[in-house]
Structure 1
Amino acid sequence: MSDIPGWGPHGPYGAPPGWSWNGYGWTPPPPPPKPGVIPLAPLGANHIIGGAFATMRRYAKPLFAAAAAAYGLLAVVAAASGVLAYVATREHFRAVAEPGAVSWDDSRPILIAFGLVWLGFMLATLVVNSFVQAACAATLHEAVLGRPAPFGAIWRRAWSRTPSVLAVTLLLSIVLMLPVAAFALLFLSLLFLMMTQSIIPIGLVLPLFLVTLPLAAWLYVLFAFAPAAAALETAGPFTALRRSVSLVRGAWWRTFGISLLAGLIVVGVSLAFRLPLQFAAPGPPQVDPDDPMSTYLLDQLRSQFGLYAALGLLGSFLTQLAATVFLPLVTALLYLDRRIRKENLAHTLREASAAPAPVP
């Protein structure tokens, strides 16, 4: 059995690697140093998930303050854009509101104005999400070394890396749109089947959907480390993509599994908050045939707003904020784990943790 590769002696006199003889017996190697939120050694799933939670707890100010400020700015810009679009098309709104006066000449400016607002909001959301990913990576850089992470330094570093992370995020968004587009075609094919009894469209679209879904998942995991590489290695978009492919190679299923576990944790926390609120939601008011429709609609609004709505909105914002921070941290820790395993990054991190922190 000792001739089988991997089953023979490990080290002198059959000792496992790192063990030493102290005169009385074999002494296990010392635990790896842990100056920050993770040990500087190959990480298990427990280290990765636990490290993400530890970073959120110890570095809550730079993480959540940066994310809340970015999303708050996004909300202000979106609201201001909506108001400007309404002001610019106010006369057309009034014309459309008149009974029997709906025309394409009045509807077209409204659709164009709010379509531009929606497009701008989606682009701004991508920018903000890229900034948050860069802020998470910049904070984790200090958290791994056990150093403080001032809000101002994290903010400046994250904005400097946002353009490169944004380019990578745009590509990942396109990858995610592949199964969404295939699902939309599948839905349209089902409608066509119900209306015409023809199975030709769904027969063509269903195989496309079944191929697109695993292809998109494979590509997304393959490029998952690109945002972290763009932020931590100051790499350009294409260099970051190549780095991600190189690091994920040989560990695709592990990366997919731990990322899926992190996603399930986020879903579980969200459901744990939402389900009690749904059970505690006020019931709809009873309909009185003698009341006018306006009174019924007003009662509906009152039943859905108030303290319950405020708690729901606040809880949704907090859970979403935590998710936007937690998932990038997990991905960045997976990226560090791959570099520790493939590039001996642990040695570099040990030297960096022992050196004095640079002056921001």
Structure 2
Amino acid sequence: MTQDPGWAGAHGGAPYGGPAGWGPAGWGAPQPQTPEPGVIPLRPLQLGDILGGAMSTVGRYWKQLLGTAAVVYGGAAAALAAALGVLYASFSGRIHGILHTPESSGVSWEQARPLVLSLSGVLLAAGLLSMVCTAMVCAACATVLQEAVLGRPTTFRAVWRKAWSRLLPVIGTVLLCGLVVLVPLLVITGAATAVVVAAADAHNTAAAITVGVLGGLALVPSAVWLWVRFSLAPAAVVFEGQGPAGALRRSARLVRGSWWRVCGISLLALAIGGLTGYFIQIPFTALGMFSGLSLHLDSGAEPSPARVLATVAGYLAASLLGQTLSQIVSVTFSQLVTGLLYVDRRMRQEELAPVLIEAAARQY
């Protein structure tokens, strides 16, 4: 997969001009037709261009995109299921003991502590694995867009190889961005906590609650502002080969002057992807709930622990499958929109469109 010089230019300004006639035409002059060799027209994009381009990319490159997402998220789901299976095999006796504990005596912390700590460790590992999977999908979406914008074909193997080569920088970018967002949040949280504690010591509960609520609300604008400011950093890592720190600076430079537009389109993409994923997940959640309902409505003797565990396992399996498919769709769509926002900002700030037009013309 070749790297076009237009993608790598990180300091603004196209390295060479576009074809004759590029630019605004005078009044009454015929408007030149905008080239569209790929999924978007090669000009500054409108909202419809970005959303339509993301959908067109999924339609044309669904094997590469959904295949990569299915491999990474499916592998993560299988690893999580295996970890839960090992956890159950290791604590099956303790689990059965907890299930048979009389309600009058209750379950002691000493009895439940090993199981709770082990389950917490599995969930923490699942969270870290999910972050790695999302970083891989981010890299894959940007890799596909490099070809989709110019209408060039690509293969699953090529996308996987390029995305894998940029995985560590993308993870570093995500972690660095999270750190940048977290530090001011911790400062604000610490200050608010100190005020709340002081107010509580003075027996002024109303003041403590008020300060706590206002402190929590103060965290939201700063977090959203930083998230939008650095939202284009993963795309810069893949498109330009930037490192984590350089990608954050690059994103801040591209977002400058268009924060509200980037924020609105990003939130809209998250809403569309989340809503689509929700509808995908509904049948799987209903299937899991149906299995639990059938156990509850079953007449006769009290169900055995083995049947209860089998029902819980079936519910978790259905929910996990639905969550995996939902995440594949929602993350893929939102990352494609983010990648197209990156392209749009470069076309607006750095006259990238003529560079892409010339690159598209060379391939024919």
Normalising by structure 1, we get a TM-score of 0.76
The answer as to whether partners of 2:277 and 2:330 remain within 8 angstroms in 1 is no
Q: 1:233 to 1:276 in 2, by over 3 A?
A: same
Matches within 5 A, 1:73-222: 73-90=75-92, 92-93=94-95, 96=98, 99=101, 106-173=111-178, 175=181, 198-222=205-229
Aligned CA distance change for structure 1 residues 298 and 200 (closer, same or farther; 3 Å): farther
Give the partner amino acid of 2:270. G
State the partner residue of 1:5. none
> Structure 1 residue 348 and structure 2 residue 355: aligned?
yes
Alpha-carbon separation, structure 2, partners of 1:104 and 1:317: 33
Matched residue, 2:25: 19
* Separation (CA, whole Å) in 1 of partners of 2:172 and 2:131: 10
Q: What secondary structure does 1:27 align onto?
A: coil
Per-residue CA deviation, residues 60-117 of structure 1 (Å, 9 max, x unaligned), is 0000000001111111211222233344445554665564696655544333322222
Evaluate the alpha carbon distance shift between residue 156 and residue 333 of structure 1 in structure 2; reply closer, same or farther with a 3 A threshold: same
Q: Offset of 1:325 from its aligned partner?
A: 0.6
Question: Within 2, Cα distance between the matches of 1:287 and 1:132?
Answer: 40
Matches within 5 A, 1:236-251: 236-251=243-258
CA contact (8 A) 2:58 2:65 kept: yes
* Corresponding residue pairs, total: 325
Residue in 2 aligned with 1:8? none
Match of 1:42, SS? Answer: coil
Q: What secondary structure, in the 3-state scheme, does the structure 2 residue paired with 1:325 have?
A: helix
2:166 aligns to what SS in structure 1?
helix
Secondary structure in structure 1 of the residue aligned to 2:40: coil
Aligned to 1:37: 39
Question: What's the C-alpha RMSD, in Å, of the aligned pairs?
Answer: 4.1
What is the CA–CA distance in structure 1 between the aligned matches of 2:279 and 2:346, rounded to whole Å? 35
Post-superposition Cα deviations, 1:224-271, rounded to whole Å, max 9, x if no partner, equal 001111111111100000001000000000001111222232344345
Task: Work out whether 1:322 is the aligned partner of 2:329.
Answer: yes
Kept after mapping to 2: 8 A contact 1:96/1:102: yes
Which ranges of structure 2 fall in alignment gaps of 5 or more residues? Answer: 1-22
Inter-CA distance 346–156: structure 2 relative to 1 (3 Å threshold):
same
Structure 1 residues 285 and 149: alpha-carbon distance in aligned structure 2, compared to 1, 3 A threshold: closer
Using the alignment, how far apart are the partners of 1:111 and 1:97 within structure 2?
A: 15
**Cα distance between partner residues in 2 of 1:284 and 1:77:** 28
- State the identity %: 39
Which sits farther off after the overlay, 127-136 or 197-206? 197-206
Give the match's secondary structure for 1:145.
coil
Cα distance in structure 2, aligned partners of 1:243 and 1:204: 36
Distance across 2 between alignment mates of 1:63 and 1:134: 10
Task: State the alpha-carbon separation in 1 of the partners of residues 55 and 363 from structure 2.
Answer: 26
Tell me the distance in 1 between the aligned counterparts of 2:82 and 2:301.
35
Secondary structure, counterpart of 2:33 in structure 1:
coil
Tell me the secondary structure at the aligned position of residue 149 of structure 2.
helix
In the superposition, relative to structure 1, how do residues 272 and 129 fare at CA in structure 2: closer, same or farther (>3 Å)? closer
Distance 2:242 2:39 in 1: 25
1:176 and 1:220 in contact (8 A); partners too: no
Offset from partner CA, 1:158-180 (integer Å, 9 cap, x none): 0111111112222445548959x
Decide whether the 8 Å contact of 1:135 with 1:158 is kept in 2. yes
Deviation string, structure 1 residues 11-34 (Cα, Å, up to 9, x no partner) = xxxxxx64369xxxx432312211
Q: Which has the higher contact order (CA 8 A, sep 6+)?
A: 2
Match of 1:47 in 2: 49
Q: State the match for 1:4 in structure 2.
A: none
The 8 Å contact of residues 52 and 329 in structure 1, kept in 2 or not, is answered as: yes
In structure 2, relative to structure 1, the CA distance for the partners of 1:28 and 1:230 (3 Å cut) is same
Code of the aligned partner of 2:145: L
Task: Classify 1:18/1:276 alpha carbon distance in 2 versus 1 (closer, same or farther; 3 Å).
Answer: same
Cα-to-partner distance string for 1:89-146 (whole Å, 9 max, x where unaligned): 4555466556469665554433332222222111111101000000000001100011
TM-score, normalising length from structure 2?
0.75
Cα distance, 1:286–1:68 mapped onto 2, change above 3 Å: closer
User: Any conservation in 2 of the 1:95–1:102 contact (CA below 8 Å)?
Assistant: no
Q: Are residue 294 (structure 1) and residue 299 (structure 2) matched?
A: no
Please tell me whether the aligned partners of residues 95 and 101 of structure 1 are also in contact (alpha carbons under 8 angstroms): no
CA distance in 2, matches of 1:279, 1:197: 47
Structure 1 range deviating more: 196-205 or 149-158: 196-205
User: Shift of the alpha carbon at 1:294?
Assistant: 3.1
